[in-house]
Structure 1
Amino acid sequence: MMVMLWNRQQSSQREVVGIARQSTHSLLSEQMRAGGEAQVRQLADALANPLYYFDLDAIGILTRSALRVPDVDYVLVYDPKGRILHDGSGDIAAFGQPMNDGFAAEIVAAKGPHTRQTDELLDVSYPITIGDERLGGVRIGYSMATAARAEERALDGLRAGFDDVNQRSLNWLLLLCCAFGTLALIGAWVLQRMLVKPIRMLGDAARQFEAGDFESPVPESRRKDELGDLIRTFGRMRESVVRHDRDIRRVAYSDALTGLSNRLAFRESLEQRLREQQGTGCQLALLFADIDDFKRVNDTLGHEAGDEVLLQVAARIERAVLAVQDADALVARFGGDEFVILLQPGGPEPDGDVRGKAIRLAEALVLSLSEPMLLNGRQVLLGTSVGVAIFPDDAGSASLLMKNGDIAMYQAKMAGKNCYRFYSRTMDQAIERRVRMEHDLRGAWERGELTLVYQPIYRTRDRVLVGAESLLRWNHPEDGAIAPSVFIDVAEQSGLIEAIGLLALRNACHEAASWPVPAGAGEAPFVSVNVSARQLRSGDLLQQVADALQQSGLPPERLHLELTETAVISDEANAAALLARLRGLGVKVWLDDFGTGYSSLSHLRRVQVDGLKIDRSFITDLLRDPDDLALTSAIVAMAHSMGVTVVAEGVERAGQFELLRERDCDLVQGYWLGHPMGGPEFVAQLG
């Protein structure tokens, strides 16, 4: 009986140790996986805007912040082809290199989150997208060493407790068998009650842990022996696991900067509340608030100032929400500068006027967030655009409600920013019109709807015509002439601008190759062609320009490429190398709309250009605003000191022309000198 009891105890010990090992390993692995996926998903959301604008500084800050998390071995931000964009290091030594480890091919091919785990490593990746466009992804590797050590410490404690208890039990059994054989049955029963039952209870608790039930109580014991210590150790381990699980959930469901709920937590709460309200006739209001011109803060004052702005905005939003009486509100930050508020009537009238409360809250948000903010001793004036969608009037599901709220916020921005708009069906119609315009824009060139016109460019000192800017015009068969500001924006967002821009480049070169020499110019006029940011990033621009010049026979020095200031500076390193190769072909590069973007002549030392065009907004008030005159004069003087040609666009009065000639501006264009005209009319103008 002693042998049988001993074997039974050993079997129970092995079972408990095995179950504890398996459940502890499974629990720690699942916790690391859940925490890793939450961290990677949150990091992917935070990286979306920096990656879209290829802001390596912002990517580096977020990546290094992730590297400081315990157990993180590496963090890799990669592009859609699996090339490394950032690894958290200062010099990014691996920049541009492909990921060549065993998981790389699966990660690049994955359409969603991807997790692979070995005994030594947990690798979690998540794609980074904006809309339907995949920008790349982020990948974090976690060391399993800490989890393995924690598992071994827990099991060592269990084994040590078991060994001590078993040794004492064995001595007691031997003593009882030798001295009191007649009491063997009583001793076996006592051992059963004292040892096997508590161990079985611990085994049951371990199985509940394995099933994910962390709240089930662990058997309590007042025993002063090693088994009591073992039971109490197991209880403390359960409390530690519960606390760790609670911390993981807090990290996974809250915004790291503001402490507000994040997108995941808000979505779950929204779906739960919608389920509760289904069929009750009660309304909910969803408010999307997006800070106006927030990017300007990051670009001019830095990302630390941007974080301070977000903290102040979050505090003002919470104060505005608390000021709404009889309302239950949930505030969340979706990432970047976008905040969301779920407003539900509360108090004695749960069926109160949700729309009225939403109006009061939206007005309070617009008013509060338009007040100056103090950052590092200077005032910053921002604003907010708020979109409001009502459940169930505007949508019956969480996804559609959030979509319609986002559409309303976008309409508020289109209405001039710093205001609020309620969702309406007409907004969907506006989106449908935009989709139809994108559809009609495809093949518009082939159908002869898209044409090129040329606006003359004159030399200022003698008012001689020396070139022209080629401009796109769209004559829609049903809607008539569509403003370039409208269809160019659609082409940019849809990606059609790459194909349209290539056709415009080829046709402009072909027509310009046959232009005669104007009287007094001494040489044939040049043609300037606008290049979009997408064309600049595509990597094919150099070959496209070379092919267009070769096919048309146009001399390279007669082709001027115009690029916007923001497009060049947003990817300064790559842009500088590409522009240098373009200039190596003999093509001249002009910086368009100068003064509306980063407005820093210091960038011209790093990104070499041949000319810059002062934006028309400065020329318009040249005669009335001394500041615009002084700024224009300074730009001309500083550009000339760097050997850069200056072009003024938007000249519509003789007085503006005279002032620009006095300030030694090189070239001018505008309606006062000549409207955009078709190719034959421009050739006639040359004659």
Structure 2
Amino acid sequence: MDCVSPPVPPDVVGPLARPIAVVNATMRCGELDLHFRADPALPCVAVLYLDGGVGLINRDRFAQLMAGPFGYGRALWEKTPAGRTADPAPMIVAEDALVVDVCEQLGRRDRTRRYDDVLVRRPGGQLARVSAARLYEALADLMNHQAVRDPLSGLVNRAQFLRGLAAACRDAEHPGIAVVFLDLDRMKQVNDTLGHNVGDRLIVSVARRLGALAGDGDLVARLGGDEFAVLTRIAGGARADLSAAALGERFREAVATPDPALPAGAHSTASVGVAIGSAGSDAETLLREADLAMYQAKRAGGGTVRIASATGSQGDPLPGAGDGIRGAIDRGELRLFYQPIIGVNDGRVWSVEALVRWLHPQHGLLTPERFLPAVSQAGQLPALDRWVLERACADLAAWEAAYGGRAPRCVNVNLTVETLNDADLAGSVLATLRRAGLAPERLRVELPESADLAQLRGAVDQLRRLRDHGVGIVLDDMGAGSATLRHLSVLPVTGIKIDRSFVARMLDSRNDHAVVKLLGDLGRSVGIEVTAEGVEVDEQLTWLRQLQVPYAQGYHLGMPAPADHLTGLLRTGRRQAAATGAVGRHRLQPLPELQDALPGDPAVRS
């Protein structure tokens, strides 16, 4: 369980820049040729003109010039001033320029200059250079880092914590593990009385103290808001509860100790829950148990520690769900909820994403995390995928019959790795579309965000066949998780979804704003559809419109809800009045028959 974090990659070009040779524009090309010959590692030189301008001579282009037709280049050019052969308008940036901004500028350059070195002007006018390849590598490092980090605290985020926890649950060499879940008791009071800026400082202070207390192999995360978690090893056996209690007390005391760097009153105690696991435990269940134990500590008055009970909770995966999914299909207990994907410019319901739920006769409405792990273990995911695909296509056909051109243009269906690796995937999907009476262009297949490229390579031929027939292939969570730029060169992708983490921070972070713009520009340049996920406020939608990102999805645009609840949207075919161009808040409400099973928004979230 090695959770050591890599160093933070630089987000400005200064640390990436290297020295560059500088020559006068009056130097003869023959003399410059000797410099290049003497130093095979010299990639380029900067050229200073008499008027103070700066040019750039690329080694490869200069070598081609000096070779010339029939080998007479040197004879033709050796006495010519080097300044006449230079690029007179190279890209020059300050050393504090953001890597994402510079990469965006590179992408807009003429193709013949897109991979030229970039000149970096240091204080005092000194010049340096950085290659385009190094900039793109730095951008990839930044995207990978931001995908797993909480921007305020610097700790890992929830998704990365779950990945680390899942790996620990598979590690038989260290069978005893513990999850410590902490929630600050006074966060609201600090924000209300001292302001959110001080509240942010409290978050950073707590993160620093938790990180200092954690061991070398521990993983510390900010799960969101004022919630933190720590993954650590623990001794098993009969005394495990005592060890867990002592562990929880250590972290509780670390938070409760006032930080002298904070203003008076800007401190908080913490409610702490600890769950004990071992090799073979389910990661999400273990985290949920620690969460429930924390709520027990909160109900006890806060500032205390509770250990998770071995009896589990209402959020545990449902026993027997894997073997029972066939019966659930036969009995009509499964439901599809749909979340709208909206056209950013016109507000039309362009597509809907199908999300499965189980209306269980004893346990009520179950979200996927309650039954998918067991369904996977039982080998029943392909059967579930087939049902979702059939139902989604049938629903879209029904909307087509009822609303004609106002129906969604297509439906997005998530397929698991097990289904994607079916040798007859394309034939099965196309047959489903024929039975529903839908053209292949009406379906978008979403690739699972948890799958890496190695798992998806076997499905390339089948996906290409689907794409050739018109079915869309969408890469989910672009920029985070397993989805990388490499996927675009291997898989027959026709669309991408920008990960919600970038959209969530685009209003406050120049980096995330630039990443959203970069992915939007990338989609336009290679001809693929781009959807921004996680739109929560109208300001995000306004910026997406300015950045020309064509499609958006999120709770602000519509919660996942049963098919019947799209009626209000489909009657008009849009969310906004064309006369105003304003996009307002719209929440979908549950069907009356599901009202008891859906007490509020959290129950219907995907």
TM category, shorter: 0.3 to 0.5
Structure with max Cα Rg: 1
Greater RCO structure (CA 8 Å; 6+ sep): 2
- TM-score (structure 1 length as normaliser): 0.41
TM-score (norm 2): 0.46
